[in-house]
Structures are given as structure tokens and as C-alpha cells.
Structure 1
């Protein structure tokens, strides 16, 4: 029975992602972000539970990727579609609807560019499963980290509506560029240290503990604006410190 505990945690990740999907489709982006965050919390601990219980399995690996595809792949793509839709409908000449047998679908076609994030996430997850280099480090930005990066936009708009950020995050060209950047980071040949702990000993986890401390400090002082800064810091720390020795 204990062998199934990690799989149960993974399924809780999938459950949160499924709820977040429904919320994102309904344009409840803040609530969607909340459930994605909870799902990523479960994703953080399922691998640790598998190692502690000696319950690692091929089934667990596949479940983890499938759950991540929903929580950290599908949801951020839908959120970007909604952000692009909101930006596009405010611009004259970009708003339009599709009339398919009198069923009106009121989304500009350009907004679906946001789903490129979902496609790039799928490719990244599939590549991760067949890439034997990604045992002690990641190649490219992990999908949970990318999901948090995308979902930080509606959170900043809602809770920290500083004028410059509002102008940026509601600008369609910025959102197009952000989508391209997101897809690039997911599949770039960038070696990043793994965020998941094999144990909680200081030895071998100094970079991870230091990074978590940095995250806490940034979130306390900057709140949601800290999330993009954290992702940039993650990339820079990995660049200056060899991940395999993290």
C-alpha cells in the first residue's frame, strides 16, 4: 500500500491541474494560479516520497509527466490565451468571432498563439523522459517553473497593478514575445540545477537551500513581482554554478 503513496500524491497534482484548467477556461486566472501552485507543491514531494519509501517505478515516472502536462503545460497555455484575448479585444481591428453553424466562438485567432506554451511544454516533458542527461540536473526550464512564470502575470495584474506592469502585461506584443521566450526557455540547451531534494541534508543541497532562502526573501519583500526575478535568478545561479555539483 505504501508503494502507491507517491502515485497518490502525483494524482493530487493532476486533480489540482484539472481544476485549474476549468478555472482558466472560465477566465478565473487568480484561482487557476492558486490550484497550479498547490499542484506544483504535490509535484515537488511525489519524487521525494518515492525515494523515501523506495517506491520509484516506471509507472510513477509516466504519471508524473502526465500530471505535469496538465498542471504545468495545459493551464499556462490557456492562461496565456486569456491574457492575449484580453489584450486583443481592447485593440480595434483585432476582435472577431467564429460562427460555426451559428455557434459563436468569440476569440480572436491570434490569441491561440498562447497555446504554443502548451505544445512546448509537451515536447519538453517527452524529451525529459528519454534524455538520460537529466538525472541530476535539468536541460531547459522545468515546466513547473515555467508555469509559475506565466501565472505570475495575472497575479501581478490583480494584486500589484503598478502602471508599468499593467501596460506591459496587457500589451499584445509583449505577450507574444513572452510566449516565444517561454517556449525557448523550456527547450533551450540550458543546464539548470534540479530543484527536487533527494534528502534534506545540507551536504549536497547547499545550492537548493540557498535558492529557497532567496525565494522566501524575494517573495516577502516583493510579493508576486518576485516570481519573474526568481526565475531569472534560477537561470543565473545555474549558469555560474555547475548543476551536477549542486
Structure 2
């Protein structure tokens, strides 16, 4: 076995490991630690593809393994986080999901299952990842919102609540109708026939990468100015800029 050729799969393994740890923290209601491990997972997800291109180590196994890892880190985890946010919106607190939905869990009747609407994100993410693996149009760009981008959007909410708290922000982000609407919108965006540019640089010249350089510069400015609130703004900016982007031939 060529160890060099396995480097991308090793990096993908780190993504999967981070996702599994994030699941444990999300289930227990520690969403800040969840976000930390998800950010590491997405970091590894970016570099496994980069490593595969640099080492010319592409493989069908690597492609499938990457999607399976993404399903955990960028599919299951944001779904559980949304369940927790909906639990906060409906019942006033995050919960230990391992106990809440057991037969001896909350004494809330059927209403205790309402936060499970958030699991639709996992379903939509799984379908999006399956389509990505067989869609030849997505080799240098995306059709629909990538799962890591959607995950960053969802994970930004508990971070904003924790570190940039205000009564106005809480009234918006913990409104159950806002969260249900965001869940449905994210499911639609994941699978919409919407062309989006990818941050993959074939060359470094400005002319062919203008939209990427402009986007990255705006991201830096927004993060410095808005901190965690910048994340949902950046996702919206990403979608809006893509509307004016012409896919490479």
C-alpha cells in the first residue's frame, strides 16, 4: 500500500473522528464544544480534497469516504444542533437527548417530539451528498448549498447566542417559527438547482478568480467587524455573489 496515496483518506478520517466527537457533545447539549469539533472537521474536509489534488491521489473509495464523513460532521451534527435549538425555543432549555425521548423522559406528551423537525437537515444533507457523488456538473462548482456551508450557518446560531447575546438576538434566533423556517430553507437550499462557485483555485490570477478573491476579502472584513454574526451574513453573501457568477466553461 502506498502510504502517500493514503494521506487524503487519513485526513478524511480526522474529519469523521471530529464529527463523531461533535455528535456526543451535541446530544449532551454542549453546543459550543460541538462547534469547535465541527470547525476542525470542516477544516480537515477542505484539506483532504486539496491533498488528493496535490498528490494525484483521487479514488472512488476516497470520494465515498469523504461523503460518509461529511454525512456525520455536516449532516447529523447540524441536525442535532437544530433539535437542541428547537428544544430551547419550545421548552426553554437544551436537553440530554439520550434521556429526553426515552419512555421515561419528559412528561410533555407528544409535544416533546416537535424539536425532531430539526432532523430533516440530516435527511436533506444525505440526499445532497448522494447527488454530489453522481453529478458530473459539480467537479469545479456546486449545484445547491454545500453541506459544510449549511453546517456553518446552523452552528453559528448557538455561538451567537453564547458570545454575542442580546435580548433582540435571542428573541429572533430562539423563535420556534424562525428555526422551523430556517430548517426548511436550509433543506431546500441544499438540494436546489442553484449554481454556486467553489473556492477551488486552478490558477492564482485575479481575472479568472475575481469572485473568489472578492468573497474572501469580504469574509475577512465581516468576521473582524461582526464576529460570529458574520457567519450567516457570509453564507447569504455567498449565495448572492453566486447569482452574478458565470460558471467556467
**Same-fold call, TM > 0.5?**
yes
What is the match of residue 97 of structure 2? none
Deviation, structure 1 residue 208: 2.0
Question: Residue 192 of structure 1: SS of its match in structure 2?
Answer: strand
* Offset of residue 210 of structure 1: 2.3
1:7 to 9, 13, 30: 9
Tell me the residue number matched to 2:145.
141
Q: Which runs of 4+ in 1 moved over 4 A?
A: 198-203
TM-score (norm 1): 0.91
CA RMSD across the alignment: 1.8
Structure 2 distance, partners of 1:69, 1:106, is 32
User: Where does structure 1 lack aligned partners over 5 or more consecutive residues?
Assistant: 92-96
Distance across 2 between alignment mates of 1:211 and 1:243: 16
CA distance in 2, matches of 1:76, 1:106: 26
Partner Cα distance (2:75, 2:102) in 1: 29
How many angstroms does 1:203 deviate by? 6.0
What are structure 2's unaligned runs of at least 5 residues? 94-99
Aligned to 1:104: 105
Seen in structure 2, the aligned counterparts of structure 1 residues 196 and 36 have a Cα distance that, compared at 3 Å, is farther
- Secondary structure at the counterpart of residue 153 of structure 1: helix
Aligned pair partner of 1:236 in 236, 240, 247: 240
Separation (CA, whole Å) in 2 of partners of 1:55 and 1:106? 53
SS in 1 for 2:137: coil
Secondary structure (helix, strand or coil) at the match of 1:138 reads strand
The superposition leaves residues 161-181 of structure 1 with CA deviations (integer Å, 9 ceiling, x where unpaired) of: 122211011111111111011
Quickly say closer, same or farther: Cα 1:46–1:199, change in 2 above 3 A. farther
Query: How far does residue 213 in structure 1 lie from its aligned partner after superposition?
Result: 1.7
Work out the CA distance in 2 between the residues paired with 1:98 and 1:29.
19
> Following the alignment from structure 1 to structure 2, what is the Cα–Cα distance between the partners of residues 6 and 206?
28
1:115-160 superposed Cα distances (whole Å, 9 cap, x missing partner) = 0001000000001111111111101000000000001100000001
Q: Does the Cα contact within 8 Å between 1:140 and 1:185 map onto a contact in 2?
A: yes
Alignment CA distance shift 1:36-1:99 (3 Å): closer
Q: Quick one: distance in 1 between partners of 2:116 and 2:11?
A: 32
Counterpart contact for 2:22–2:33, Cα < 8 Å: yes
> Does the Cα contact within 8 Å between 1:137 and 1:193 map onto a contact in 2?
yes
Give the number of aligned pairs: 238
Compute the TM-score of the two structures, normalised by the length of structure 2.
0.90
1:170-185 matches, within 5 Å, as 170-185=174-189
Q: Given that residues 140 and 200 in structure 2 are in contact (C-alpha distance below 8 angstroms), is that contact kept between their aligned partners in structure 1?
A: no
**Residues 196, 32 of structure 1: alpha-carbon distance in 2 compared, 3 angstrom cutoff:** farther
Distance 1:49 1:40 in 2: 14
**Residue from 77, 86, 89 that aligns with 2:88:** 86
